[in-house]
Amino acid sequence: MHPNALLELATELLHRVLQFKHPADGVVSDFFRQNKALGSRERHTLAETTYNVLRQRLLFQHLAQSGKGEMERRLAVLGWRGNEGFLRAALAPAEQQWLAQVQAVDRAALPEKLRHNLPDWLAEALQRELGDDFWPFVESMSAGAPLDLRVNALKARREAVTAALAAAGIAAEDTPFSPLGLRIHGKPALHKLDVFTRGEVEVQDEGSQLLALLLDAKRGEMVADFCAGAGGKTLALGAAMRNTGRLYAFDTSGHRLAALKPRLARSGLSNVYPVQIAHERDERVKRLAGKIDRVLVDAPCSGLGTLRRNPDLKWRQTPQAIEELRAKQGAILASAARLVKPGGRLVYATCSLLREENEAIAQAFGEANTNFRPLPADEVLGAAHVARSAELVREGFLRLWPQRHGTDGFFAAVWQKA
């Protein structure tokens, strides 16, 4: 492909993504479907350039003001994550001169806002929360995320999967905390490998694995994954139950539950019952009141813990949207709690970084439901063979951060019903 044609495509893709009407990953996937002739290297350049611009949007927009021509083209040039020679071949002499001037700017001397690339409301909340750890957090956000796998304990052992990946030329290391996790750097084509097609591994962030371990589902129990989504945690719970008992996967989206079907088939699990519900007070939920041993509520949230993977979220979320989510989170947790039988366990989790969606929701629930006793997350994780569990916990809650733990940002609270 001619260098200028690829830059034109990057410009067009950014134009679509920066409207922020839809999640960036979906916009990129649609764009690739419409441009089927693109090779893997070209797709990689386009996707990485787009995500680089999303991560550093404020900085690049500031630097782009001095240039000429279409704004999205200037942003694509500044965020370019492909062959440098290829980019230079696409630029007119005046553009090359402009790029050299911009690259010479001392970025460390720029205002804070242009260095952290966060909207004001989010930067303020995180500076309050993190203190001196704020800038390491900012750095971790722009580094991107590794690829974590969870070994399906029903079918394989971690050592055997590591060896099989090594034989395929893929280096994997044990995750530092989860006893089931493997971490891979780079983006190999996993779906073509035997260990994947046989269901011996699933793609799942280590933080998400730890949420499933907090529930500590056992053989023969009745367990509910209350907001199952595409089912990463559902699969982990089913394997922990050794494919016995009953595991209900509830979700309001039939589309998300449909995405669970092929993963279930690979996993070898037959104890999972996907159930589409209209809302958290659905009749099908009410029928199970007081009957479930363990309930996981992975609540709908801002998703800000996944900024390494989804940098567009910081521009698409608003304080108003967070307020609406808080009402939903409280209602879902209250409904899910009704399922738990006496002596049973309840876990509330999010992939948010914000105290309002995390500690505030858990504390309000605890005050309103004194029959639920909080369990210290470090003790629960220790019992589930999680290494160095004390490092993962603050104020009794699981609190994961990318710059501290190498995972996405996660929160979880655990209770036992009296």
Catalytic (active-site) positions: 351
Instruction: Tell me which residue of 21, 74, 10 sits closest to 312, measured CA to CA.
Output: 21
C-alpha angle with apex 101: 95 to 103, nearest 5 degrees? 100
Cα first-last separation, the chain? 66
Contact 177, 388 (CB under 8 A): yes
Kind of pairing, strands 172-174 and 410-417?
A: unpaired
Dihedral sign of CA atoms 19, 20, 25, 30 in order: negative
CA dist 201 and 236 (Å) reads 10
Say which residues have a Cβ less than 8 Å from residue 283's Cβ, sequence separation at least 6. none
Residue 87 corresponds to which amino acid?
L
Task: Please report the DSSP string for 81-113 in residue order.
Answer: -S-HHHHHHHS-HHHHHHHHHHHTS-GGGS-HH
Beta strands in 280-324, from DSSP E residues, in sequence order: 292-298
User: What is the maximum span of the chain, computed from C-alpha positions, in angstroms?
Assistant: 74
3-state secondary structure of 275: strand
Instruction: Tell me which residue of 320, 293, 325, 296 sits closest to 235, measured CA to CA.
Output: 296
Q: Which residues pair with 251 in a beta bridge?
A: 276
Q: Which residues pair with 373 in a beta bridge?
A: 416
CA dist 178 and 232 (Å) reads 15
In residues, how long is the chain?
A: 418
CA dist 227 and 260 (Å) reads 13
Scored b (16 or more CB within 10 A) or e, 264-280 reads bebbbbebbebebbeeb
What does the radius of gyration of the chain's CA atoms come to, in whole angstroms?
Answer: 23
3-state secondary structure of 230: coil
**What is the token pair recorded at 150?**
């969870």
